[in-house]
Structure 1
Amino acid sequence: MATLHRGFSASSILLLLLLVLVSSSSASPVHEILKKNALPPGIFPDTAKNYTLFSEGRILIKLDAPCNVQFDDLFQYGRVIWGKLEYGRISEISGIWFKQMITWIPITGIVAPANHDFVVLLFTLISKKYPAKNFKEIPSCRADESLPISEV
């Protein structure tokens, strides 16, 4: 077997590269179904690993534990998130909040318009645009027990 510089064999370098590629792919089935429906994978954190898809597009997403993610605003994810999955959007969401000043506001929908550089988050009476680049990478969740995460 050929030996490369400093005693590494070609097969050991190939194995190392394969391990790096496998470990860098952090997309779970949840993030894959988001991509298939034209939604950025980073709208859900890394702890969102499993989902169940029901009739008429209802989706149940389970996280390992409730947690928080800092985008432009602080977001809170419950352990269980419900919504209706459609191409380019999730509507009727429960289980996600964002902090506005001193209050937590529930997110009711997420829309990713085709060919746009933004993602729209819907709330009860308002909507807010965020740069799509904020949601391209899958964010890491952090627990913060000082925040009032409700279980839905």
Structure 2
Amino acid sequence: MDFTKIVMRWAPLLATMVIICNLVGVDSHVSDQPISDILAEYGLPIGLLPDSVKSYSLADDGSFKVELGSPCYVQFNYLVYYEKTVTGKLSYGKITDLNGIQAKQFFIWVNVIGMEVDLPSGKFIYFNVGIISKKIEISWFKSVHSCKKSLGNEPCNEIDGALTEKRDVQ
């Protein structure tokens, strides 16, 4: 089969896919606005992501992709690990389909797959780790936290010196 026949055969399909993508709004927009402002617009606390955000894109349907400078850790009362790329879907007061964030709970790393603010009070945020949700005071996330590239000898999970494993950050 020659090249012309191949192009003629696939051109209608490719044109249809381009039209469908434009109709369903999968265009991503990159903004100069800080990610903390975007989180606030969606009713979420600004400290859900660390200070090392390099760029992000947000699609019309709420799907987002955040690029950090490198994978890193933030110490709250729980140790949280952020991969270099964090993705999910934003809607008012919640993030679903979340990938790229893990929390350490009793020496076990669990994937955080969603977050939801307790509306209308806004005093708590729920972190979904599968069939279990963890209720945490929203005040922990009122400010943007610094990321650390390594764990060092810091305490985690409220137990001094309780680090028994270390994750390598590339």
TM class by shorter-chain length?
A: 0.7 to 0.9
1-side partners of 2:53 and 2:95: how far apart? 15
Q: Which residue of 2 aligns with 1:4?
A: none
Q: Which of 141, 144, 150 is equivalent to 2:147?
A: 141
Does residue 42 (structure 1) correspond to residue 47 (structure 2)? The answer is yes
Q: Which residue of 2 aligns with 1:86?
A: 91
Q: Which residue of 2 aligns with 1:112?
A: 117
2-side partners of 1:38 and 1:55: how far apart? 17
Aligned residue type for 1:147? R
* Displacement over 2 Å in runs of 4+: none
Question: What's the TM-score, normalizing by structure 2?
Answer: 0.68
- 5+ long unaligned stretches in structure 1: 1-27
* Percent of paired sites with the same residue: 33
Bigger radius of gyration, 1 or 2?
A: 2
2-side partners of 1:42 and 1:134: how far apart? 8
Q: Which residue of 2 aligns with 1:125?
A: 131
Secondary structure of the residue that 1:130 maps to in structure 2?
Answer: strand
1:1-39 residue CA offsets vs partner (Å, 9 max, x unmatched): xxxxxxxxxxxxxxxxxxxxxxxxxxx611110011100
2-side partners of 1:82 and 1:108: how far apart? 10
Q: Which of 37, 56, 60 is equivalent to 2:65?
A: 60
Q: Which of 17, 25, 34 is equivalent to 1:29?
A: 34
2-side partners of 1:30 and 1:49: how far apart? 10
2-side partners of 1:48 and 1:107: how far apart? 18
1-side partners of 2:44 and 2:55: how far apart? 17
Question: CA RMSD, aligned part only?
Answer: 1.7
- 5+ long unaligned stretches in structure 2: 1-32, 152-165
